[in-house]
Chains A and B, each alone.
Chain A
Amino acid sequence: MDFEKVGLVAGIEIHQQLDTTTKLFCGCPTAVRPVEEHDGEFFRYLRATASELGEIDRAAEEEMKQVRRFRYLAYDTTCLVENDDEPPSPLNEEALEVTLQAAKAFGMTPIEQVHVMRKLVIDGSNTSGFQRTALVAVGGLLPNGGRIDSICLEEEAAQRVEDACFSLDRLGIPLVEITTSPCLRTPDEVRETAAHIGMVLRSTGRVKRGIGTIRQDLNVSIREGARVEIKGVQELDLIAEVVRREVARQMELLEIRAELLAREARVEDEPVDVSGIFAKTASSVLKRAPVVLALCLRGFSGLVGRELQPGRRLGSELSDYAKKCGVGGIFHTDELPAYGVTPAEVDVLRSALGAADRDCVVLVSGTRSKTECAVRQVARRARCALEGVPEETRRMLEGGSSAYMRPLPGAARMYPETDVLPVSITGERWAAVGTPELLTERARRFEREYGLDASVARQLADAERLPLFLKAVGAGVGPSLAARTVLATLKELSRDGVSLDRISDDDVAGVLVAVETGRAGKEAVPALLRAVAEGSRAEEAVAALGPAPGQEELDAIVERVIAERAGFIAERGMAALGPLMGVVMAEAGGAADGRAVSELLRRALKRALE
């Protein structure tokens, strides 16, 4: 697709958790806990409040369509601040420092006096009903010439466990939010920019790793489309696909608009109560419902069922809007008869609404108040189809499509966090902020200094256990052995179920030094680390290997092994080398030098075969 031609404009917002000692506004650790370890719970209601400008934010108003009770799970690592039962502590200086480092790395200008704001969020993910956030710096540059608008420091929201239940362990973990200007023009450019920003953030060495610790929100629009924000893209590899699918969705919506205008389509104002028609229906959903309302979308036939993205139709959009009122979803005649609704019932329905073949009828079922609310929502979204693409906040679905979440928030959703004093970023403070060595620079340095392959150096520069590599090399271990241990051996052990957090950097370095000084063979490294994971100290594990066998002893072992396996050798020839190597090493003990054993065995094998 020619993205320039469709006028793709995209921006990106990256949220990265920081790996600080404590949370942003309390002394709790930034530890994420298994849900079953919670040791207390409580529940609350949230209500929107007028912001300082005296308006209620429209995104918040949307959430208010459902009065909801939120349940919160507390841990022995959370406190009254997470419960919104104690005022916040001053802004975490460590988190601010990391934010300033990142800001400097992007060439940004800091705000002279940073004010913490309350961003209204009443979906329950914040016990207070707002997320604390502060603008720290503005005006950065991207390698492709694009701009970074801002970097903010904010508190992470609580993790949703299910529906209206949230876990408080994540609430309050520091998060940097980096927003680019809408300067990206292709899906790949969006992906590359996200990768670059992530790389710079990881260069600080103070960010969290793993699933969910970094999230991307994408802003996408095309010419004649509208700005749509897609939240919660966790995998870098999906970013381009999400952008492509959003472009496709907006193009489909524009085509649907053209078709609707050509058909002179319109949305009826009033729904019709059709509960009677479905009093005896085989559709359990409709039969169970106290009220079934129907709304006629004149001229919409065939378009409601039209696919916008894989797995998503215009009907899905109508349904998303309706669900905001607490109904389970909608039925529409583009997909009926089905789900227990018979052709006869569809006919009765159509005639009750005076619906022609070119019209589509939408059904909403539930309680009176919920259905009335839902039908209004359906009408609202259907009317948007006549305009084209509505501005929305959407959430990513598995695979890269997206669903409607809420309207785009307005600026009215912020007001000052009066419990936290502003923080000054003086000229001296800014001057003292160090810029991190970028991972890309570090990789080049590793290539140079340690003679490593470019790809090994790149992996190493970004490795979580880089400090281990540096420690081992500092202790005299060869860079390639240290790199192989960090990048391969440890990963293999972890894959085999060995608990790596029980192996300290000191232990690994101790094992590698033993190899380097000839007290253990390279082949013994995995076994030694296993022993460490099971509770031995590195020295003990090496000592347990026993002394390396002498040359005579080694010759004897090789002779014996070859003699005992004459048949196998006759059958396999030189290919017996690999299997026999394992046998000899087992007999010789881990301290034997693998390369020497291999050479010895190869020669003996050759002799035996002659």
Chain B
Amino acid sequence: MTEALAAGDRVACTVGSTELGGTYITDRDGMRVVKLDSGYNIGVHPGRVRFAGRPRAAPGPGIEVEQDRSLPELAIISTGGTIASRIDYRTGAVTSQFTAADILRAIPDLARIARYRTRVIATILSENMTPSLWQELARAVQDEIRAGASGVIVTHGTDTMSFTAAALAFMISTPVPVVLVGSQRSADRPSSDNAMNGVCAASAAVSDLGEVVVVMHDTPSDDRCAIHRATRVRKLHTSRRDAFASVGLPPLGTVAYPDGGVELGPGAVRRGARPLELDDRLEPNCGLVQFYPGMDPGILDAFSGYAGVVVAGTGLGHVSTPCIDRLGALTGDGTTVVMTSQCLDGRICDRVYDTGRDLLAAGVLEGGTMLPEVGLVKLMCVLGRTRDPAEVARLMQTDLAGEMPGRTPHGL
């Protein structure tokens, strides 16, 4: 016979001839998970776990957050992600659950940089982010800036952070820094990068910047963060702290840790250079597809009826001859097709080889130096604003938010 137990109940369990006391945590794979008094968790067959009492819940230690009124005020908008995470005992997985206010308790060092007001628009893992949440986020950022925030910090899971960053950059013209930040290593570990990234993000948010950026570890050490332009940044490693990199141009600047000293390069847009404007129109019915050798052209038919498709082609921007025909069919039906490159770095040029010239003839637009996913986000924004093909083509090939600088730097 097994008893109904609630998490936190005192239990006694039997392992062989040994009696062990502990706290019931959860059930897992048919076993009762018990936290022993030694601190270890073990899984025990339910028949060998006995209820031993239900302790009264002790109130958690309430730590008040103090704010220094002489400091500038920042808004922290929380979307979830591992900068603010907690352990889920049911699955044993790390999930994002804390509200933005909890971040201040988790990273007390933030208090010496600014005052904060916090706002939660979502508590999701970043793979569950949606274009409509980008819009909600853009409106929230505008609200906060209107309400006088000296800068805005958006906490975000790292997986799709660069999509959200690009979306904000296309939707908002901002006079103050809008900083996206997250952590690669879970916030529940003493070595988490959440604290350093958070401190650097706050430092960047009170700095002389005036655009949407991503601030994350620059090296494997806890020495500095890099400030990346929202439309040129990419996650290039699954797990390292310094996973984020600017592609095709150097970072806009750095933030030293722990002192928070911000250094901005000449390319960074400065505070106050642009007025506050929001255009949150967006056409979510767009897709992104990566070409590969032997790709069944029929796959492209799935995008029939889409407002736009971005293709990540090979090299200078190519797909196979059979695929060109299908892309031509899509453009013929009014779908905007934009070519970007799997190379990520460098410019699309479809005038060099035959397949390229055929693509242009099929009505495919060259995506310049745009990263494929940035091209997708931009296409959503552009198609949200106009459906006039000539205007769409013009906007897609115009630099709107630093996504396609006119010159490709030589990088020497």
Contact = CB atoms under 8 A, between A and B. Distances in A.
Interface of A: 42-49, 52, 54-55, 60, 69, 80, 83-87, 108-109, 111-115, 117-120, 122, 127-130, 133-135, 138-139, 150, 152, 411-416, 418, 421-422, 424
Interface string B1-28: 0000000000000011110100000001
7 contacts: A42-B221, A43-B221, A60-B190, A113-B29, A138-B18, A150-B38, A418-B92
Contact of B39 (A47, A139, A413): A413
A85 B185 contact: yes
Given A109-B16, A111-B42, A49 B239 contact: no
A114 B42 contact: yes
Contact of B43 (A52, A111, A138, A413): A111
Given A85-B184, A422-B31, 19 more contacts: A45-B258, A48-B190, A60-B190, A69-B222, A85-B239, A85-B241, A111-B42, A112-B15, A112-B44, A113-B33, A113-B44, A115-B41, A134-B40, A135-B40, A139-B15, A413-B39, A414-B40, A414-B41, A418-B92
Given A42-B221, A109-B18, A135 B190 contact: no
A156 B87 CA distance: 24
B191 A128 contact: yes
Contact of A52 (B61, B87, B185): B87
Nearest to A55: B61
Contacts of B168: none
Interface of B: 15-18, 20, 28-29, 31, 33, 35-45, 60-61, 87, 89, 92-94, 106, 184-192, 195-196, 219-223, 238-241, 258
B240 A127 contact: no
A122 B189 CA distance: 10
Contacts of B220: 42, 83, 85
Given A42-B221, A85-B185, A418-B87, A412 B15 contact: no
Contacts of B188: 49, 415
Contacts of B92: 416, 418, 421-422
A120 B16 contact: no
Given A117-B41, A416-B92, A422 B28 contact: yes
Nearest to A45: B222
A44 B42 contact: no
Contacts, number: 138
Contacts of B60: 54
B189 A118 contact: yes
Contact of A42 (B44, B87, B94, B219): B219
Nearest to A129: B190
Nearest to B237: A85
A420 to B, nearest CB: 9
Contacts of B240: 80, 85-86
Contacts of A130: 189-190
B17 to A, nearest CB: 6
A87 B94 CA distance: 12
Contacts of B187: 49
Nearest to B36: A135
A111 B192 CA distance: 31
Contacts of B33: 113, 115
A135 B44 CA distance: 12
A129 B186 CA distance: 12
Q: Please list the 7 inter-chain residue pairs (A to B) with the smallest Cβ-Cβ separation, ordered nearest first.
A: A113-B43, A129-B190, A109-B16, A414-B39, A139-B18, A115-B41, A135-B40
A45 B196 contact: yes
Contacts of B219: 42
Given A112-B44, A139-B15, A418-B87, A84 B39 contact: no
Contact of B190 (A49, A54, A80, A111): A49
Given A44-B221, A129-B189, A119 B39 contact: yes
A54 to B, nearest CB: 5
Contacts of A115: 33, 40-43
Nearest to A133: B40
A19 to B, nearest CB: 25
A118 B94 CA distance: 13
Contact of B29 (A44, A117, A413, A424): A424
